[in-house]
Amino acid sequence: MSRYIDQMGQAVQVPDYPRRIVSLVPSQTELLFDLGLGDRVVGVTRFCIHPEEQVQGKTRIGGTKDFDLEKIRSLEPDLIIGNKEENYPEGIAELQKDYPVWMSDIYTLHDAYQMMIAIGQMTATELTARDLVAEIQNQFAALVRHRALPQSLSAAYLIWRKPYMVAGNDTFIDHMLGALGVQNVYGGMSRYPEVSAAQLTERQPDLIFLSSEPYSFTEKHIAEFQELCPQARVMIVDGEMFSWYGSRLRQSAEYLSLLRDNILEG
């Protein structure tokens, strides 16, 4: 057994070679497979959709906020990996009584890099994890060097409809908006505030991003927001590229670069 400190500051005793891993977070599930740990993953949530073919054969243990404790126990895990924001604390507390539960807490790319390396250390895949982190770091460094957006360009990032909910301060999405080079008009508010149509109109964002998740905004919703903010450019964006903080980040920098080019070309 080895002792690790997770991103919530909790000490976790983990077997030196965990063989039965349960993942409670989709983006971290994908990371485990990309680290070559697919044969050791025994349980995933119903929202774990990547890598598509490989996750199909894994036991589904419920959702991120309503996972089935008894089903998890039946899998006899020797490592459970969760996240502070995505999982519910009561369920995590129950699991911690019997199993090593390592929790991530992600606000920035740096936090994501630390999480990847920590999972690599716990699972004897640290070299692979460090190579992955270096690859992502290089891609985001290239994004910064690319042509920039006007500094005054502002955006509202919608994650829900009825009621409208946006990404606010201290969120990974807010950090990714910064990487794109736009100012979050709700960056001074709580993490995921509800806002009214009038409040959205009042902020007058230059851009309105309608995320594909957790609410599945589509092209049919563009007119609704264009009417509220006629001056704004309303766009559907891939929510995974803004909010998945695992190995999917290998695709995020290129996606943000293409999005930025699209914005610049008008």
Residue 147: predicted pLDDT: 65
pLDDT in tens, 43-83: 999 999 999 999 999 999 999 999 999 999 999 999 999 99
Which two three-digit tokens encode residue 86? 């995505």
**With a cut of 70, which residues of the chain have pLDDT below it?**
147
What is the rounded distance in angstroms from the CA atom of residue 188 to the CA atom of residue 170? 9
* CATH 3.30.70.2860 is held by the domain 2-140: no
Beta bridge partners of 62: none
- Helix boundaries (H) for 123-232: 126-145, 172-180, 197-203, 222-228
49 in Cβ contact with 28 (< 8 Å): no
d(CA 138, CA 144) in angstroms, rounded, equals: 10
DSSP category for residue 219: G
Which of 100, 134, 130 has its CA nearest to residue 118? Answer: 130
By DSSP bridging, strand 154-160 and strand 165-166 are antiparallel
| SS3 at position 211 | strand
What pLDDT sits at residue 168?
A: 96
Place of tokens 């971290």: 28
196 Cβ contact partners less than 8 Å away, ≥ 6 residues apart: 164
With H, G, I as helix, E, B as strand and everything else as coil, classify residue 14. strand
Structure tokens at 249: 């980040």
CATH 3.40.50.1980 segments of the chain: 2-140, 154-265
Q: Which CATH class is domain 154-265?
A: alpha beta
Q: What is the pLDDT of residues 171-187, one digit of tens each?
A: 999 999 999 999 999 99
